[in-house]
Amino acid sequence: MNDTATYTTEGKPFERDMSYLPDRILAGDTSVDPLDDTFPSGSKDSPRDVPVWSAEPGRYRLVAARACPWAHRSIIVRSLLGLEDAISWGAPGPTHDARSWTFDLDEGGRDPVLGIERLQEAYLARDPDYPRGITVPAIVDVASGEVVTNDFPQITHDLAFEWREHQRADAPDLWPVDLREEMEGVMKRVFTEVNNGVYRCGFAGSQEAYDDAYARLWAAMDWLEDRLAERRYLMGERLTEADVRLFTTLVRFDAVYHGHFKCNRNKLTEMPHLWAYARDLFQTPGFGDEVDFDQIKRHYYDVHTDINPMQIVPAGPDESVWHTPHGRG
């Protein structure tokens, strides 16, 4: 069996498959979010008629690799909201093959709670014929060993709304109602043009696809640079989910996306407002302390053999710059 994953298709632009297991973990029969139907937050048209699981402390395990930006969101949100005692966390290693993420950071190569070597085992416990990719983050029901959901945008939304009873008293409101409409628009542009935009550059299958992706990415980066010239956070003076979503791309930008994904018009460190903003977040508890640059670099440069066949992991850049004064706030 060839377990080597491939990410590019010659002659074609990169398109992300946004079909995920849509089950939700809710505090009641319906979402606590009063705007849940107005602004659906999940993937693939955000279905609402889905299986519902009960939000019970200790029942679930969040499986999320620090290396993956989509999973990194859930790790940060869990930390910001103080949900460590309510939902345990299993951390796969930074590399994987076409079959699955593995728990090579744990003793014996097994998750200490789920007892599995590969996350694939939890997907197959739910559906022996599961046809899609084995992705993180995934929330697993500990008792049955089955994956509940891997719908990454819905996971962080529901951590914020459905687990409020179990959050710490001073947890931030990451989804303020008065900012919601504007925030949803900002998050959509961040996702399509930046979070996913770097991947469209890196996995482009033609020069034309790359040129289009590159232009779109930098138009959005310039928009963000201008926006952050006048406000501390994306939505003003309040930290929100929008900041979490942007941060996981920014923190990987110079280390990975600038070179590995050919997003090389300039470095993040050369954009004054975005760079100061990124350091501001990095130095906020729950952000930088959940970053592992070694895992990030090993994930991209080791796994993407179709664009880095020798699997050489670069030594730089200097991580200490993230701790320099940011001058914001």
DSSP letter assigned to residue 190: I
Assess whether 300 carries a catalytic annotation.
Answer: no
Name the active-site residue from 20, 60, 68, 233: 68
Task: Report in angstroms the alpha-carbon separations of 162 from 38, 133, 141, 158, 304.
Answer: 17, 27, 16, 5, 36
**How far is Cα 13 from Cα 202, in angstroms, rounded to an integer?**
10
DSSP letter assigned to residue 170: T
Assess whether 199 carries a catalytic annotation.
Answer: yes
Name the active-site residue from 20, 60, 123, 199: 199
Q: Where does 82-134 have alpha helices with state H?
A: 120-126
**How far is Cα 266 from Cα 138, in angstroms, rounded to an integer?**
34
**How far is Cα 112 from Cα 229, in angstroms, rounded to an integer?**
45
3-state secondary structure of 63: strand
Handedness of CA 173, 248, 14, 212 (dihedral sign): positive
Q: Where does the chain have alpha helices with state H?
A: 69-81, 120-126, 152-162, 180-189, 197-202, 207-227, 241-252, 272-282, 293-303
List, in sequence order, every residue forming a beta bridge with 140; answer none if it has no partner: 61, 147
Around Cβ 28, how many Cβ atoms within 10 Å?
10
Active-site residues, by number, are 68, 199
